[in-house]
Amino acid sequence: MKALLILFVLMNLDKLLKTARCIETQDQILSITPKTQEQVDILKNISTQYETALWQPASHQFIKEETEVHLFVPANSSATVEDLLQKHAITHQVLLANANELIEMQTRNVSTDPRSGATFYERYHSLEDIYFWINRTQHERPDIVKVILIGSSYEKRPLYVLKLSVNNRPNKKAMWIDCGIHAREWVSPAFCLWFVHHSLSFYNLNEDMRNILDNMDVYVLPVMNPDGYKYTWTTNRMWRKNRSASRSSNCIGVDLNRNFDANWCTEGASDEHCTEIYCGAFPESEPESQAVANFLRRHKDVVQIYLSIHSYSQMLLFPYSCTLDETENHNELLEMVQIAAQKIRRYYKNNYKYGSGAKTIYLAPGGSDDWAYNLGIKYSFTFELQDRGRYGFLLPPSHISRACNEALTAVKTIALLVIEKT
Ligand code: ARG
Ligand code: ZN
């Protein structure tokens, strides 16, 4: 009898373990729309006092009535948070009940799974893999790709830029693309790799790609915040800022997209170290932002287009984010992103919002796009890639190709429009 029981357990071990795992609470993502000021205040309190991570908006100070909040709640705080929400009659929806599984899915090395048809570019890669890829790409295509070291991070990791250049035409202009300013936005570095791969593969096959590369060089910084990116792979998937320490606080990290010299640290940024939008001790206090700013200052006469890739929320943004004022070429920029958004809608049946940063999302001073614009790079953009919150930062690898192709459509549209103009 005992033997039979043991046999039964062994035969069903797999199933039994699975049921056990389902019952156990996982990290979840909640969608909450506060209806009253009281609910706003409670939500602000929850997101700052408890072990949670605000996905949307970037900081608790932007939480307001009738706007959807996305909150990551780790398993160990979920009971407390649910209680608080219930007590104050704050209705909420579970956006994702299985965040742990999704994180696992994002980090699994699918290449070892023979059933998977996913290519290298349809997966997320560790920082080490990306450094290896940079090196390999340069060795495979030395005719087109040069690697430039533009500086190093706070923890002394190299910041490499790939320069794509197909000919030595005199007076060639250039486009700059950076990815991975914010650590947890994994689809962003994936896009930079996608873009380089696409450029190299389609130069000979696609007329638009050839037109772009014949007329401009492209500088690609795949991971602007390598310390933060590494940290999201090893320690905390929800990390946003860089990893710099300061003597005056125990909290680590500066928001690199609040650290540039554009109405630095005014409304929409914070001088508190512990917030997700901490602006740093002074403009360009961080080695990562300083490296990018120095490089662009040296190349400002050739760089016509500045592009910064983020996620998520599906938006094509342009300056200003640091003020509600319009730029001198506001209508021109608006028209460009409108055309790009239309193309995405036509090809991929997906909607992207567009407009100036401050009017489309919120005031966010110290951003790289505004700074680049004021430096004289008049075609300056920030893209927020997929999705709109279904998976948020945990976008499954199977969505990478669509997300990147949508962004690629926007990049190509804008580059071609700028080439046409000049
Ligand atoms: N989600 C991005 C951020 O909060 C928006 C960037 C828009 N541009 C800007 N300069 N803030 O950083
Ligand atoms: Zn971002």
Q: Highest-confidence range of 26-30, 131-135, 165-169, by mean pLDDT?
A: 131-135
| Alpha-helical segments (H) within 56-186 | 75-87, 99-107, 127-140
Determine the Cα–Cα distance for residues 204 and 193; give it in Å rounded to an integer.
19
- Please choose from 267, 323, 361 the residue to mutate so as to test ligand 1's pocket, defined by most ligand atoms within 8 A of CB: 361
Determine the Cα–Cα distance for residues 259 and 308; give it in Å rounded to an integer.
14
What ipTM was reported for this prediction? Answer: 0.95
Determine the Cα–Cα distance for residues 191 and 212; give it in Å rounded to an integer.
18
Calculated CA dihedral for residues 55, 59, 60, 64, nearest 10 degrees:
-90
| Active-site entry in 104, 384, 406, 420 | 384
Tell me, yes or no, if 66 is annotated catalytic: no
Determine the Cα–Cα distance for residues 177 and 155; give it in Å rounded to an integer.
23
pLDDT band at residue 18 under the 50/70/90 scheme: very low
- Please choose from 382, 383, 385 the residue to mutate so as to test ligand 1's pocket, defined by most ligand atoms within 8 A of CB: 382
CA 258 → CA 11, 54, 268, 283, 322, distances in Å? 56, 17, 9, 8, 10
Long-range CB contact pairs, 338-346, < 8 A, 24+? 339/413, 339/417, 340/316, 340/409, 340/410, 340/413, 340/414, 341/316, 341/410, 343/409, 343/410, 343/413, 344/406, 344/409, 344/410
Strand (E) or helix (H) holding 353: strand 353-356
3-state secondary structure of 160: strand
Determine the Cα–Cα distance for residues 246 and 252; give it in Å rounded to an integer.
7
Determine the Cα–Cα distance for residues 309 and 290; give it in Å rounded to an integer.
18
Q: Cα 367 to the chain's mean position, in Å?
A: 14
- What are 262-321's pLDDT values in tens digits? 999 999 999 999 999 999 999 999 999 999 999 999 999 999 999 999 999 999 999 999
Rg (CA), the chain: 22
| Alpha-helical segments (H) within 203-329 | 207-215, 226-234, 287-298
Q: What does DSSP say about strands 92-96 and 69-73: parallel, antiparallel, or unpaired?
A: unpaired
Tokens of 402: 């669509």
Determine the Cα–Cα distance for residues 255 and 275; give it in Å rounded to an integer.
9
Nearest Cα residue to 266 out of 370, 364, 357: 364
- Sheet-wide strand order for 92-96: 53-56, 69-73, 28-32, 92-96
CA 250 → CA 155, 245, 253, 257, 341, distances in Å? 17, 8, 10, 21, 42
pLDDT at res. 113: 57
- Please choose from 310, 325, 385 the residue to mutate so as to test ligand 1's pocket, defined by most ligand atoms within 8 A of CB: 310
Give the distance (Å) from ligand 1 centre to CA of residue 367: 6
Q: Which residue has the tokens 């033997």?
A: 3
Lowest-pLDDT range of 6-10, 62-66, 159-163:
6-10
Give the distance (Å) from ligand 2 centre to CA of residue 311: 6
Beta bridge partners of 382: 308, 317
Give the distance (Å) from ligand 2 centre to CA of residue 172: 30
- What are 404-419's pLDDT values in tens digits? 999 999 999 999 999 9
Mean model confidence pLDDT for the chain: 93
Q: Is the pLDDT of residue 120 over 90?
A: yes
The ligand 1 site (C-beta within 6 Å) comprises 58, 257, 310, 317, 321, 357, 361, 364, 367, 369-370, 382
Beta-carbon contacts of 231 under 8 Å, excluding residues fewer than 6 positions away, are 183, 239, 243
Ligand number nearest to the C-alpha of 361: 1
Nearest CA owner, ligand 1 atom 9: 367
Give the distance (Å) from ligand 1 centre to CA of residue 311: 10
Determine the Cα–Cα distance for residues 34 and 43; give it in Å rounded to an integer.
8
Angle between helices 400-421 and 207-215 (to 10 degrees): 60
Ligand number nearest to the C-alpha of 184: 2
pTM summary value: 0.91
- What are 331-374's pLDDT values in tens digits? 999 999 999 999 999 999 999 999 999 999 999 999 999 999 99
